[in-house]
Structures are given as C-alpha cells and as structure tokens.
Amino acid sequence: MFVAVCEAGSLSAVARAMSCSQSAVSQHIKRLEREVGLALFERRPRGVVLTAAGQVLRQAATEGLGGLDAAVRRLAEMGRGEGGTVRITTGATSVRHFMSRSIVDFRRRHPDVVLEFQTGQSSRQCMETVRDHGADLAWVTIGPPIPGVEQRPVLELPWVLAVHVDDPLAARTLIRPADLAAIRHIALPEHSISRVSLETQLARWGVRPTASAGVADWDTAFLLAELGICQAIVPALPGTPEQVRLVPIAGLPPLTAGWAVRQWAALSPLAVEFAKTMTE
C-alpha cells in the first residue's frame, strides 16, 4: 500500500485502483507511520509528497526485504535522534550571527548527526529550496506567503543606523526617519525582503535616501560602516564590530526572522529539535 501511494502520489487514486475506501488506504499509511515512529508523507490539498523518512523507506522497498530491515533500523535511529542529517539553508551571515551557540549545543547532544548548511542568496530563495525538498529548515526574514511553505516567526530585529564610532551621528541616542535623507546610504541586497520592507517604510515617511554603495549581505554593510565609508540602515544583529555604533531608528517596524519549512508535522525529530534549540 505504501509503495502504491508513493507511485500514485495520491491516497484517493490508490483507493480507486484497489477498489477500497480512501479511509482504508489512509489507515494503512498511518499504521505504518506509527510503526516506524515518523511521518512518511506530507499531506497536501492535492495528494501527498514523501518526507525524508518516506524516501528512505521507498528506496529500501525497491531493494527487497533485506533492504527493508536495514531501513527500519535506520528509521529507528532517526526516531531516537542517533543519526541522520539535518539540512539547513540560510543567508551567508546567519550561521555566525544567530546559530553558533545552537550548533554547539545540538552537536554536544547529537555528535553523530550531520548538520548540512546551504547558503541562499535571499530569504525567498531559501524558502524555495525548502519547498523543493532541497533542505529541511530555512532561517529567513519572514515575508509574503509562498505556497507549500510554512513560516514561523521567532524574533524581531529592530532597525538601527550603523555608523563608525567617530561619526557625528554616533553621539545620537535616537534617529528620526527624516534624518536619514541626508546620510551616505548603503543599499541592501536588491529584491531582498529586508530591502523591500525598509524602502516601503521609509517611503511612508517621504524619505528616499540616495545610495552611495550597495552590498550583497548585512555583514558587508557593517564592514563599510566600520571603515567609515558609509552609514548603514540595518537590522540590529548580535556580534556588532567594536568600531560600529548602532543608533536606534524611531518609527520603523522591526523585521521578523524565523523558520520556514514545508510542514512542521512532517519534520524529523532531529530537525524539530534543532529548530527548538535555535529558538530557545
């Protein structure tokens, strides 16, 4: 029954082919999922898609009973958190700014688990990677909905003006949006959620600062501010360089960062634990 659903991608199609009810097919699959202790399919409005655990079992099903025994042992290890891989996609700077402690804590508990990191050029690209089964988790700037992807907010990042400590603006305790019209602005990555959000909010204040530099990531913006070349409107991130002062900007709603997955209910226990470790 499991193999038939894999091939058809639909419980109802298998029910028709086997002259039984869709409920009967569903019960077979749920019983198998209870047996292995992991979700094997992601339920979609139009059919089902294999999870990582389901892919392991389907591959084994083509190898005969010997392969099935090995697969059941591997699934048991995955369920106990003793092995397997957690694939995470995020921007180039996120691992250092947000994940370093989480990685150490998770690795201490699960030394045999492989953490596979993939760098995305934008939050949308990371979410598309998750949607297309290229990763289990994506740490992203929360943005517009993408079909087939669930987004879960974790924290808010207030906007700040990053300037060199010797910059006259470094003495300010607060910056008003109107004050940003005259700065040497560093443009954030084009089409990124952070840039679109910032430009939308500034436009509401009638502010359109002229960009004197453009960057591909937040760390490069901080570097240019550290060198005193430009001033950067960026989210407040952990690990700011010592020579950079972050001045809060009044009136701009913060960015929201968090996780994006295909379906939380279909994640492996290891992926769920990593996400929880990061959140905590």
Task: Specify the CATH number for the domain of residue 102.
Answer: 3.40.190.10
164, 236: one domain: yes
- Domain of 241: which CATH number? 3.40.190.290
Tell me the C-alpha to C-alpha distance, in Å, between residue 130 and each of 41, 52, 90, 106, 263.
Answer: 15, 12, 10, 21, 10
- Share of residues in the chain with pLDDT > 90 (%): 44
Q: What is the pLDDT of residue 95?
A: 86
89, 74: one domain: no
pLDDT of 213 strictly over 80? yes
Q: What is the pLDDT of residue 269?
A: 86
74, 88: one domain: no
Stretch 240-250: mean pLDDT, rounded? 90
Q: What is the pLDDT of residue 165?
A: 93
127-179 pLDDT, tens digit per residue, is 999 999 899 999 999 998 999 999 999 999 999 999 999 999 999 999 999 98
CB 177 within 8 A of CB 222: no
122, 205: one domain: no
166, 187: one domain: yes
127, 192: one domain: no
pLDDT of 105 strictly over 80? yes
pLDDT of 5 strictly over 70? yes
Q: What is the pLDDT of residue 103?
A: 93
> What is the count of structural domains for the chain?
3
Query: Confidence band (pLDDT; 50, 70, 90) for 267?
Result: confident
70, 131: one domain: no
Q: What is the pLDDT of residue 66?
A: 62
- Using alpha carbons, select from 144, 131, 154 the residue that is nearest to residue 263: 131
Q: What is the pLDDT of residue 135?
A: 93
- Domain of 57: which CATH number? 1.10.10.10
CB 211 within 8 A of CB 139: no
130, 267: one domain: yes
100, 235: one domain: no
261, 151: one domain: yes
49-95 pLDDT, tens digit per residue, is 999 899 988 888 877 766 676 677 667 766 666 667 899 999 878 88
202, 244: one domain: yes
What is the chain's mean pLDDT, rounded? 88
Domain membership of residue 14 as a residue range = 2-79
pLDDT of 115 strictly over 70? yes
114-123, 142-151, 183-192: lowest mean pLDDT where?
Answer: 183-192
pTM over 0.75: no
The DSSP 8-state label assigned to residue 231 in this structure reads B
